[in-house]
């Protein structure tokens, strides 16, 4: 009997290891710095999510509470152009640490879309919808937006959390990612979205050139968009009032960017005004809001530069009404 049990145990362990190797593509990809394919454990960690549409993985930095509850929320934090997802995970954890809560009731996920697989602004900011020349529309299962849905499904299966939707936050390049995902994937499981301090926006208008609008002169056209559902998704555009200085040429990736304004504050205000006008003309249920806070884009003394902590605090307040002691003025 003991031999039988030992055999069964060894067989199970071999099957489990083989499953991980199969998921990774090869044994050599089982780790990525501090990330592994091990199951999520309580506290902070990092796992590698195998992308179904390619032979590579996305590192996902996470926080898992000590105990999952019926109302445990799932929050995604999308990094900026530095692709420093771990810092964004830590920023959200610090908000709660400073408020005296050692065990906040949410699962935090900060996926890292590396330049190697999601290069330039096309691969990440624009959601990898098109090839780098913006001519060929990628299959939907290759969109970076789609991976958020897939990671959510994976975490639900792994943790047995009861959440049926998630909260989506993005800063800078991540804010470009978030508001475009809301527009092009409105049927995703997004409960509420926040786009903080984007440097460029897409306005659902056929008279404006892509990626700042819906008009494309060359290559394949944009997929159809359900604006009725898009506008019904609660989304907050957070802008820092300190970001009223002209942006450098580095932030004008496309020729249409400067048409939206010379700084992040002006561009965000312009975007919100234009989109609200479109929704009103269509008589749609417009659930987007604009929030201005006394914040800057980044804290420049950090290396790499990180988002202004007030942006995270105010975003957390949008997601968690019970959070106290947060100044969002």
Q: Taking the domains of the chain in order of start, what are their residue ranges?
A: 1-32, 35-319
pLDDT reading at 303 higher than 80: no
Average pLDDT, the chain: 86
φ, ψ dihedrals at 154, nearest 5°: -65, -45
Reported as a pLDDT band with limits 50, 70 and 90, residue 78 is very high
What digits encode the pLDDT tens for the residues 18-48?
333 333 333 223 345 578 776 789 999 999 9
Topology of domain 35-319, CATH: Rossmann fold (3.40.50)
d(C-alpha 113, C-alpha 127), whole Å: 10
Confidence (pLDDT) at 290: 98
Q: Mean pLDDT throughout 232-255?
A: 86
What digits encode the pLDDT tens for the residues 167-190?
999 999 999 999 999 999 999 999
pLDDT reading at 83 higher than 80: yes
Confidence (pLDDT) at 52: 87
Q: Which residue has the higher pLDDT, 200 or 98?
A: 200
Helices 85-98, 309-319: crossing angle, 10 deg rounding:
70
What digits encode the pLDDT tens for the residues 210-229?
999 999 999 999 999 999 99
Confidence (pLDDT) at 305: 72
d(C-alpha 140, C-alpha 180), whole Å: 14
Q: Whose CA is closest to 266, among 181, 199, 312?
A: 199
φ, ψ dihedrals at 82, nearest 5°: -75, -15
Reported as a pLDDT band with limits 50, 70 and 90, residue 98 is low
């Amino acid at each position: 009997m003991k031999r039988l049990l030992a055999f069964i145990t060894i067989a199970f362990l071999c099957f489990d290891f083989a499953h991980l190797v199969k998921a990774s593509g090869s044994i050599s990809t089982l780790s990525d710095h501090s990330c592994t394919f091990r199951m999520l454990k309580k506290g902070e960690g990092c796992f590698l999510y195998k992308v179904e549409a390619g032979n590579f993985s996305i590192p996902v930095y996470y926080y898992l509470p000590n105990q999952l509850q019926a109302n445990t929320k799932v929050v995604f934090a999308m990094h900026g152009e530095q692709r420093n997802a771990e810092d964004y995970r830590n920023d959200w954890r610090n908000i709660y640490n400073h408020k005296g809560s050692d065990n906040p009731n949410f699962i935090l996920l900060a996926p890292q879309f590396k330049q190697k697989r999601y290069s330039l602004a096309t691969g990440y900011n624009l959601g990898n919808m098109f090839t780098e020349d913006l001519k060929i529309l990628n299959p939907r299962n290759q969109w970076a937006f789609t991976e958020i849905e897939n990671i959510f499904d994976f975490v639900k299966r792994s943790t047995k959390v009861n959440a049926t939707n998630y909260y989506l936050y993005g800063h800078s390049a991540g804010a470009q990612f978030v508001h475009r995902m809301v527009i092009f994937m409105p049927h995703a499981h997004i409960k509420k979205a926040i786009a903080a301090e984007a440097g460029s926006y897409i306005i659902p208008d056929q008279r404006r050139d892509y990626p700042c609008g819906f008009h494309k002169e060359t290559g394949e056209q944009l997929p159809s968009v359900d604006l009725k559902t898009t506008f019904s998704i609660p989304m907050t555009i957070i802008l820092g009032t300190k970001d009223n200085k002209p942006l450098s040429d580095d932030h004008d990736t496309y020729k249409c960017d400067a048409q939206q304004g010379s700084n992040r504050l002006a561009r965000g205000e312009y975007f919100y005004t234009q989109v609200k006008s479109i929704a009103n003309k269509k008589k749609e249920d417009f659930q987007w809001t604009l929030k201005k806070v006394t914040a800057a884009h980044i804290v420049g003394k950090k290396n790499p530069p990180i988002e202004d902590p007030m942006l995270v605090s105010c975003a957390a307040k949008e997601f968690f009404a019970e959070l106290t002691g947060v100044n969002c003025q």
